[in-house]
């Protein structure tokens, strides 16, 4: 067994997995409350990556930044997360809120419309070319190792930041007043509104948090993998949703575990399975079908009992 390959794959799998987990959280939270598949979520992630790029260049670019690398990084995250959060709230306000009581398929189509709109607006403004964060110019090329386990600074940063965000989210949902309101809205929207919870506000906050996490994931992706382009949100959104479904949609720990599973599976498939680098998406897809067929409600999901 070639251990160094295994460790490399594990590190890149964990990095990818934390990205997918962050995206999956947005899907999962929105689905938990609205029972709505937010197709535009992947494109919010793409916008986040571009906002980070613009913040970077507004601050002097990767070669001679205005502040030290760490401050610039922090500001990039802040800009991307705030921008995406506001975008998410606006999307909810325009595309989903008027359709609360429409047939189930209408908000899905509307989400598809938002997705096309965002993708092509990005194409219009950012152009079709790939853009690069030039991370190595910004924070150096240092790699660290523990024995055979090599990782670069962006990879470490991604995993640590993702874990930090997830812990913050878990604490927020478990402890704060608003988190409690979110849980009860997710449990039963009508009952929650009868108990004096402002459901519209809770939904807006959910969209803000979910989209901000996606924005952070967009910046992290660009830091680790460099290249960003207008169509990057589609496949990442699919993977994020796969992660959410694997973990059990609506469950926050489920989304995190699901993300890590999808990331690791993709990484190992690339390394070990026949023609994995071409067909890694197909292998992830096969995994999804397998899990859904065995446990339709996902790993952490509770089986829904439909009462009439």
Partner 1 sequence: MEQSPDTPRIGVDEWVASVEGKRERYTGLRGAVFRNWDRLPPAARVLVFAVPAAIFPFLTSQGNVFRYGLFTLVYALLALGLNIVVGFAGLLDLGYVAFFGTGAYLYAILASPQFGNHWQAEAAIPVVVIATAVVGLLVGLPSRRLLGDYLAILTLFFGQAFVVFVNNANRINFPFFGHVDLTGGSNGIANIDPFNFFGYKIDSTMKQYFLLLIAVSLLLILLMFVNESRTGRAWRALREDPLAAEVMSIPVNRLKLLAFVCGAAVAGLTGAIYGTIATAALPGDYDVGLLITIYAIMILGGFGSIMGIVVGAVIVSSVPELLRSSANARPLFYGAILVALVVKVRPWRLLAAEFGALVALGFGIHGIASAAYPRLVQGESIGSGAIPRALDHWMLYPRDAVKIADLAYIVLIAAIVVYPQLGRLWRAILLPPLLYLIMFVWENLLLLHIGGATRLILLGALLVALMNVRPQGLFGTATVEIV
| Cβ(94)–Cβ(118) below 8 Å | no
Q: Does 238 bind partner 1 (CB under 8 A)?
A: yes
Residue 305 engages partner 1 in binding (rule: CB under 8 A): no
- The CB density around residue 290, as the number of other CB atoms within 10 Å, is 11
Q: Is residue 234 a contact residue for partner 1 (CB under 8 A)?
A: yes
Q: Does 289 bind partner 1 (CB under 8 A)?
A: yes
58 is a contact residue toward partner 1 (CB under 8 A)? no
Q: Which is nearer to partner 1, 31 or 45 (CB)?
A: 31
Is residue 125 within the footprint of partner 1 (CB under 8 A)? yes
Backbone region of residue 35 per phi and psi (left: phi > 0; alpha: psi in -120 to 50; beta: other values): left
Interface with partner 1 in residues 186-225 (CB under 8 A): none
Alpha-carbon gap, residue 71 to 289, rounded angstroms: 43
Q: Least distance to partner 1 from the beta carbon of 126, Å? A: 9
Mark the segment that binds partner 1 (CB under 8 A) among 116-124, 136-144, 164-172, 257-265: 116-124
CA distance 187 to 182: 9
Structure tokens at 65: 């930044």
Q: DSSP letter for 249, please.
A: T
Q: Which candidate, 269, 239, 257, places its Cα nearest to that of 295?
A: 257
Burial string for 276-288 (b: 16+ CB within 10 Å, else e) reads: beeebeebbeebb
Under rule CB under 8 A, residue 281 binds partner 1: yes
- Contact string 67-106 vs partner 1 (x = CB under 8 A): -----------------------x--xxx--xx-xxxxxx
Binding site for partner 1 (CB under 8 A): 31, 35, 37, 90, 93-95, 98-99, 101-110, 112-121, 123-125, 234-235, 238, 241-242, 245, 274-275, 278-279, 281-282, 285, 288-289, 292-293, 296, 304, 306, 308
């Amino acid at each position: 067994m070639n251990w160094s390959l295994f460790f490399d794959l594990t590190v890149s799998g964990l990095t990818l997995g934390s990205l997918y987990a962050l995206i999956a959280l947005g899907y999962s939270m929105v689905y938990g409350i609205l029972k709505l598949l937010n197709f535009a979520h992947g494109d919010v992630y793409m916008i986040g990556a571009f906002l980070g790029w613009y913040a970077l260049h507004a601050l002097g670019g990767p070669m001679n930044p205005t502040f030290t690398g760490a401050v610039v990084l922090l500001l990039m995250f802040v800009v991307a997360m705030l921008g995406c959060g506001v975008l998410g709230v606006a999307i909810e306000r325009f595309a989903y809120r008027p359709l609360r009581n429409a047939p189930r398929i209408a908000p899905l189509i509307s989400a598809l419309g938002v997705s096309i709109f965002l993708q092509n607006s990005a194409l219009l403004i950012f152009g079709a070319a790939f853009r690069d964060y030039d991370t190595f110019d910004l924070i150096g090329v240092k790699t660290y190792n523990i024995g055979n386990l090599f990782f670069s600074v962006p990879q470490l940063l991604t995993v640590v930041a993702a874990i930090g965000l997830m812990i913050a989210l878990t604490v927020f949902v478990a402890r704060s007043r608003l988190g409690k309101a979110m849980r009860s809205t997710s449990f039963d929207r009508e009952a929650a509104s009868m108990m004096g919870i402002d459901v519209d506000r809770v939904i807006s906050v959910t969209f803000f948090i979910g989209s901000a996490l996606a924005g952070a994931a967009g910046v992290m992706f660009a830091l680790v993998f460099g290249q960003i382009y207008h169509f990057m949100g589609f496949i990442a959104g699919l993977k994020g949703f796969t992660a959410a479904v694997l973990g059990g949609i609506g469950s926050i720990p489920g989304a995190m575990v699901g993300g890590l599973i999808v990331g690791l599976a993709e990484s190992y498939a690339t390394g070990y399975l026949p023609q994995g680098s071409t067909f890694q998406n197909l292998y992830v897809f096969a995994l999804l079908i397998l899990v859904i067929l065995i446990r339709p409600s996902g790993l952490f999901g509770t089986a829904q009992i439909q009462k009439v």
